[in-house]
Chain A
Amino acid sequence: MKIIAKVLLGFLFVFAFSACESTDAVESGTYTGTVDEVEPAKTEIYVKTADGKTLELYFTNETSLTKSGEVVDFSMLEEGMTVEVEVEKVGKRLDPISVVIME
């Protein structure tokens, strides 16, 4: 029982800290990366760039989402997709101007 309690507690502590996400603020520009997470309810995506940075992007009314030159719905986005994003840095917030699905 003592061992089970210790394992359970250790698991909870590790889970607590691993549940945290960190994001990065990058300069305005165009970045290519992989969609790490999609939050449809918030129209939000996390994009992991090749140099290990995580961009948290909340779509705005002005954000365009395209695939092969066609405008597509947000529901087309899935984890693991390669995307090219153009972002504008406002303060430390990243506003996505365009998101292009590459595959």
Chain B
Amino acid sequence: MNQLPDFWRTEVLHPLSVHLPIALLLVATAFKLVSLWRSGETWSRGGSILLFVGVIGGWMSVYTGNLADGVVARELCDPTVLKDHENAALIMVWLFTSAVILEMIYSFLKKTWLKLLMVGAMIIGSGFLGYTGHLGATLVYQQAAGVYVPSDDCEEFQ
């Protein structure tokens, strides 16, 4: 008889940790984009806070993803998708990290080109974020990465 595995498995930490930074970084990009046209603290300061917290969450997601990789890669039929997912995630998180550094430099210099560069990095980063998410979803829904597949007769749920 199959035994239902514990839910809190190493590979489950990754999907639990990725969704908050995804939301934060996308909304941060929207806030910073709006702040180019609208003055006021809400858009600019709000975007900065979302960006900082989102980047911390992004690096945590890279860490949990690395842990999950060691577990699921042996069971995938096409691990090249996992590699593309990891590469896109690294590029994305470095782009948003660049935006954080630009934000800090901007707070001292107040040069418009720095702000434009920061928003540019965030927009490109958002593109990579979407691609990373798409590949992650492909791994789960096409290759059952990290997913427990119940037995045909569902005996372990009796």
Contacts and interface: CB of A to CB of B under 8 A. Distances in A.
A55 B73 CA distance: 13
A22 B94 contact: no
A16 B98 contact: yes
A5 B102 contact: yes
Interface string B102-129: 1001001101001001000000000000
Contacts of B102: 5, 9
Given A23-B80, A56-B79, A16 B94 contact: yes
B77 A91 contact: yes
A5 B105 contact: yes
A50 interface: no
Contacts of A20: 87, 90-91
B155 interface: no
A56 B105 contact: no
Interface in A9-37: 9, 12-13, 15-17, 19-23, 25
Nearest to A5: B105
A71 interface: no
Nearest to B93: A16
B79 A93 contact: yes
Contacts, number: 69
A9 B96 CA distance: 11
A38 to B, nearest CB: 13
A58 B123 CA distance: 35
A16 B83 contact: no
B79 A92 contact: yes
B94 A42 contact: no
A81 B122 CA distance: 41
Nearest to A14: B94
B114 A5 contact: yes
A17 B74 CA distance: 26
A8 interface: yes
B33 interface: no
Instruction: Tell which of B74, B77, B83, B109 has the most Cβ of chain A within 10 Å.
Output: B74
A84 to B, nearest CB: 21
Nearest to A11: B98
Interface in B117-148: 117
A93 B98 contact: no
Interface of A: 1-2, 5, 8-9, 12-13, 15-17, 19-23, 25, 39, 41-42, 44, 56, 58, 60, 90-93
